[in-house]
């Protein structure tokens, strides 16, 4: 057992070392610019990636608030599209599971909004359809990917790849990306708030 634990941690460290710092920084910039421009952010994902989508939406919406819930503070506008069971099952039942994200995006996306796709394989049909719909509507497509990036890598405007073929480590590091993004943006908002008050 100790060897398994050490090996898992070591492989996680190696995967982190092989990730692109520049790609990660660009993703943070896109998300932070969406906040500054008062754009909406939509997040899509299946399975474990659906819970990561929910977690990121929570961290950006609530975790970045600075002023003790001051109603005058501009806030992120983020929705995880994996959270509404009624609408997910309605589209899956009446159309197909492949349409659960694209149909929701058609209701809500405006030009310049950001759609974040979280996917290990990059090949899930509902993710691909969501990316294509987002592009048609003029949104900026960002993806957190694994393996070689799959089809999604060829369709999005920007991607952060976790270079691993192990779903667990891919999902581990997608969550790390979420915490990195929300922590960085929280720190940036604090700095900007201080400079405005000086």
> Does residue 66 or residue 146 have the better pLDDT?
146
Domains and CATH numbers, the chain: 2-197 (3.40.50.10490)
Q: pLDDT band at residue 197, thresholds of 50, 70 and 90? A: low
pTM (two decimals): 0.95
Please tell me the predicted confidence (pLDDT) of residue 57. 98
Query: Rounded distance, CA 125 to CA 64, Å?
Result: 32
Residue 169 has pLDDT above 70, yes or no: yes
Question: Where do we find the tokens 């908002």?
Answer: 189
Other CB atoms within 10 Å distance of the CB of residue 67 = 10
CB 115 within 8 A of CB 141: yes
Q: What is the pLDDT of residue 43?
A: 98
The mean pLDDT of 164-189, rounded to a whole number, is 96
Structure confidence by residue, pLDDT tens digits, 6-52: 999 999 999 999 999 999 999 999 999 999 999 999 999 999 999 99
């Amino acid at each position: 057992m100790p060897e398994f634990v050490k090996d898992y941690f070591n492989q996680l460290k190696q995967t982190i070392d092989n990730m692109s710092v520049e790609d990660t920084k660009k993703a943070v910039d896109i998300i932070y610019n969406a906040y500054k421009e008062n754009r909406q952010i939509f997040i899509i994902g299946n399975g474990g990636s659906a819970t990561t989508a929910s977690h990121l939406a929570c961290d950006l919406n609530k975790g970045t608030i600075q002023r003790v819930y001051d109603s005058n503070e501009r806030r992120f506008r983020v929705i995880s599209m994996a959270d509404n069971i009624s609408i997910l099952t309605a589209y899956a039942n009446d159309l197909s599971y492949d349409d659960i994200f694209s149909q929701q995006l058609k209701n809500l996306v405006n030009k310049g909004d950001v759609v974040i796709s979280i996917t290990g394989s990059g090949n899930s049909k509902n993710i691909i359809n969501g990316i294509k719909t987002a592009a048609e509507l003029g949104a900026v497509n960002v993806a957190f990917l694994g393996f070689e990036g799959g089809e999604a890598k060829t369709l999005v405007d920007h991607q952060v790849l976790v270079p691993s073929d192990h779903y667990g480590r891919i999902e581990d590091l997608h969550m790390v990306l979420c915490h990195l993004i929300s922590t960085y943006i929280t720190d940036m908002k604090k700095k900007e708030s201080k400079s405005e008050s000086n």
